[in-house]
Structures are given as C-alpha cells and as structure tokens.
A and B are shown apart, each in its own frame.
Chain A
Amino acid sequence: DTAVSQTPKYLVTQMGNDKSIKCEQNLGHDTMYWYKQDSKKFLKIMFSYNNKELIINETVPNRFSPKSPDKAHLNLHINSLELGDSAVYFCASSQGLAGGHNEQFFGPGTRLTVL
C-alpha cells in the first residue's frame, strides 16, 4: 500500500550512461515533483508536474528530462551521467495547485551513484 513508490532504490552506473528512475503514486494526486538531495543533505526541487504539465523547472541541466505519461507517474531520465549527478533523488506528490497548502508525500528515494 505504498503511497509514493520509486524504482530502483539503488542505482550504480558508469559515467556517460543513460538511466531512468520511475515514480508512481496511488494517492490520486494531481501534482508530482522530483527533488535532488546532495551529499550535504540539501534537498532541492528539480521539476514539478501538475496534471501532466510541467509547471516548475528549476535550473537543471537539460540532460535531465522528466516525463509524465499520466497523473500517477513521473519518471526521470538522465542522459550522459556525470559524477556530480550522484545523489539521492526523491519523488513526491501532492493535491492541488503545485502544493500550496497541501502536504507533499515523499517516496523512499533512489540513491544514484555514478562511478
């Protein structure tokens, strides 16, 4: 009965590879997010989708491309992985206009290690 799930939980890969992380929420929310948490625990928003439309796109290299096939899914594809991409990536969801008053529910995170 996981509310927000991410796969994989761990991802180890070589520089230059392309990888995807998947996120699914079964809460019926209309807004989903991707966050990056670096080694110093900074949690920074990358993208947000509302009803499958991109509404927040922070300063993120265009090697990162989110895709929302439907309201319940927000996947993150990363091209040409670099060492600096190593981090924990969290997916989250909420109901309403990009959050606002509403609680965000977070996934368990995907720890990406680029060698």
Chain B
Amino acid sequence: AQSVSQHNHHVILSEAASLELGCNYSYGGTVNLFWYVQYPGQHLQLLLKYFSGDPLVKGIKGFEAEFIKSKFSFNLRKPSVQWSDTAEYFCAVRVRAGGSYIPTFGRGTSLIVHP
C-alpha cells in the first residue's frame, strides 16, 4: 500500500523566511500529488496539485511544489512566508486501484510563523 511521509512535524519561522516542507511517498506507479492547507479552525483547502507535465507546480498564495520522480518527493516551497501562512499543511497522494483512486494523506506539518 502507498504511504506518505512528511518529515517535518512542526516548523517555526519568522516572517519573510523561506519555507520548504518535505513530502515523500512510496508507490512505484503513476501518482497524483496534492498539497492541502488547513488554517486554524477551518477546513482543508487545496494549495496545489500535480498530475503530469511541468514538475514545478505553482499554487495559490505564492506556494509552489516540485515533483522529483527519482526521489519520490513533492516538496512544498514558499520564498517568503507571512504570519497568515500559520496553518497545518498536508501532502496527499492518489493512486489508481481498480476503478477507484485511493487518497492517502501524510500526517501533516504544523507551521507557525512569528510576526
């Protein structure tokens, strides 16, 4: 079965610092990759997704992620974080199993940005 690892469980940054959150998955076939964000007290929202094509994906709010197939990674980056980026970030993978797509989420990374 596929799995998703997010190595950084808690990240604390100051405003304007650069951010990189790691995400590795274990699955040898075709994957669809996602990053979701959960702001305090809110539901999960999609930040960005990758299916095919350019491995560097741009998302909302200045986030981007790079798919590196050889490393089974899909790291999330932002060059300069803001206080409002304080949230939980979840990496997710969907793989095709029979007629369905099985979504698997990482355990999340809690980001706190100090003003």
B103 touches A45 (CB 8 A): yes
The proximity string for B residues 81-115 relative to A, scoring 1 for CB distances below 8 Å and 0 otherwise, is 00000001010001010011111110110100000
Give the contacting residue for B100; candidates A40, A55, A92; CB below 8 A.
Answer: A55
A-B contacts counted at CB < 8 A amount to 60
A97 touches B100 (CB 8 A): yes
State how many angstroms separate the Cβ of B41 from the closest Cβ of chain A. 9
Give the contacting residue for B102; candidates A4, A56, A104; CB below 8 A.
Answer: A56
A98 touches B100 (CB 8 A): yes
The proximity string for B residues 19-63 relative to A, scoring 1 for CB distances below 8 Å and 0 otherwise, is 000000000000010101000001111100101000000000000
A41 touches B88 (CB 8 A): yes
State how many angstroms separate the Cβ of A63 from the closest Cβ of chain B. 22
Chain A residues near B32 (CB, 8 Å)?
Answer: 100-101
Q: Say what secondary structure dominates the interface of chain B.
A: strand
Chain B residues near A100 (CB, 8 Å)?
Answer: 32, 94, 96, 101
Chain A residues near B45 (CB, 8 Å)?
Answer: 106
Chain B residues near A109 (CB, 8 Å)?
Answer: 43
In the bound complex, how far is the Cα of B5 from the Cα of A115, in angstroms? 32
Q: Which residue of B lies closest to A48 (CB)?
A: B100
In the bound complex, how far is the Cα of B45 from the Cα of A92, in angstroms? 11
Q: Which residues of A contact B (CB under 8 A)?
A: 4, 33, 35, 40-45, 48, 50, 55-56, 90, 92, 97-101, 103-104, 106-109
* 10 pairs of A and B residues whose beta carbons are closest in the complex: A43-B105, A106-B44, A98-B100, A41-B108, A106-B43, A100-B101, A99-B101, A108-B43, A98-B101, A103-B46
